[in-house]
Amino acid sequence: MIEYKGEQIRHQEAEYFDFEKEVFMKEIITQISHGMYVLTTIGGGCIVDAVCQISSGEKPLISISVNKTNYTNELLHSQNHLVLAILSKNVDGNVIDNFGFHSARDYDKFEKIETFEVNQIQVPKDIIGYLELEIEDRIENETHTLFIARYVDGKTFKDDIEMTYNYYREHKDEFVKVKTIKGETAWICTICGYVYYGEELPEGFLCPKCGVDASLFQKME
């Protein structure tokens, strides 16, 4: 009986350390910062942050990671042309709200903001500049598609400080006002602002917008 209790305690300790390790892993991963961009293509667009130049030369390759739950991901599997708009720290919060908190499946993301066109693709005006890209490859993983795209053209409009993902997280409340239904218990994703209504989050719940788990949701009553 004593040995059993000892085994039970060791098992509980192991679970605790596994939990601590998982929390530390999530904390350290959030320290990997990226920029904040609006990716648009014909028919839609979304906010992306995992963007990287992966080759050099006059026409370098750019990698862009897009969540598979995004309608834009679906669009980019049927077309190869896209525009990547670079956001500044002073961007209008409506741009982030439009492209980060709505789905183009049932919402016109371009209706309420000023845009211009690059080869039939609508691009928000309130940006530092843009890159026009052509997809050459797609790499799939369990949650995202990594699009490998070649630089076609680009333009800079103003000299400003680009927004990083960490800056956005620290100042998110200044850019986006998350609205909840009065009288209902809401769980808000601290990463993307998605709202789930219910007394508790379902077991194994993942944010349908950005894919993070329940530990990154904040309860509002």
Contact, 42 vs 117, CB < 8 A? no
Q: Which of 3-17, 132-146, 168-182, 195-209 has the lowest mean pLDDT?
A: 3-17
CATH number at residue 219: 2.20.28.10
- The number of domains in the chain is 3
* Cβ burial 25-40 (10 Å sphere, 16+ → b, else e): eeeeeeeeeebbbbbb
CA–CA separation, 76 and 148 (whole Å): 11
Is residue 188 scored above 50 in pLDDT? yes
125 inside domain: yes
Retrieve residue 162's tokens: 């680009």
Q: What is the pLDDT of residue 21?
A: 57
pTM of the complete model beyond 0.75: no
Model confidence pLDDT, tens digit, residues 77-107: 999 999 999 999 999 888 888 888 777 888 8
Contact, 149 vs 82, CB < 8 A? yes
| Domain that residue 25 falls in | 1-31
Query: Residue 88 forms beta bridges with which residues?
Result: 162
Helix (H, G, I), strand (E, B) or coil at 112: coil
Residues 27 and 98 reside in one and the same domain: no
Residues 158 and 186 reside in one and the same domain: no
Q: What is the pLDDT of residue 18?
A: 56
Residues 145 and 50 reside in one and the same domain: yes
CATH number at residue 140: 2.30.110.10
Residues 144 and 45 reside in one and the same domain: yes
Model confidence pLDDT, tens digit, residues 13-36: 445 445 455 555 556 666 677 889
Q: Which amino acid is at 215?
A: S
Q: Evaluate the CA torsion angle 125, 54, 119, 40 in order and state its sign.
A: negative
Q: What are phi and psi of 152, to 5 degrees?
A: -110, -50
Residues 22 and 85 reside in one and the same domain: no
Contact, 152 vs 134, CB < 8 A? yes
Residues 24 and 115 reside in one and the same domain: no
Q: What is the pLDDT of residue 107?
A: 84
